[in-house]
Amino acid sequence: MSDPTTEQQLTEARTELARLRAGLAVGLTPEQSSRLQGATDEELTADASAFAAELGLAGPPAPSRSGGPRGVDVGTAGGVESGASRYRDRHPQRVTPEAQQHQSIGQG
């Protein structure tokens, strides 16, 4: 038979996890989620929704769409033509042997 203390700890951990899941799903913080009441997932979800409505929360926070860190040249002034010019400077056009042959035929 298992230890009653271990069973109790397991039950408490499962309840805490259920509270966190219900709360985070509607935009509550972990601290706010710890206040939720209920014995089942459905009861916790209903309590979380009611609590979030009282707080004026519309749902979980939207993920950041910043795209992360950017290069030093992103966001500099100049527009499309300036960007195209920088691209041409960094990526010079390569002349293939076929293109050289066509150029020499056209000059002769």
The mean pLDDT of 10-15, rounded to a whole number, is: 92
DSSP state letter for 19: H
* 2 membership: H or E segment, kind and range: none
Give phi and psi for 54, each to the nearest 5: -65, -35
Considering 47-51, 59-63, 77-81, 95-99, the range whose residues carry the highest mean pLDDT is 47-51
Q: Chain-wide mean pLDDT for the chain?
A: 82
Q: What residue spans define the domains of the chain?
A: 4-55
| pLDDT tens readout for residues 61-83 | 666 666 666 666 565 566 788 87
Q: At residue 2, does pLDDT exceed 70? A: no
Confidence band of 35 (pLDDT split at 50, 70, 90): very high
Asked if residues 28 and 48 have their Cβ atoms less than 8 Å apart, the reply is yes
Residue for token pair 């749902």:
59
DSSP state letter for 26: T
HEC letters along 39-102: CCHHHHHHHHHHHHHHHCCCCCCCCCCCCCCCCCCCCCCCHHHHHHHHHHHHCCCCCCHHHHHH
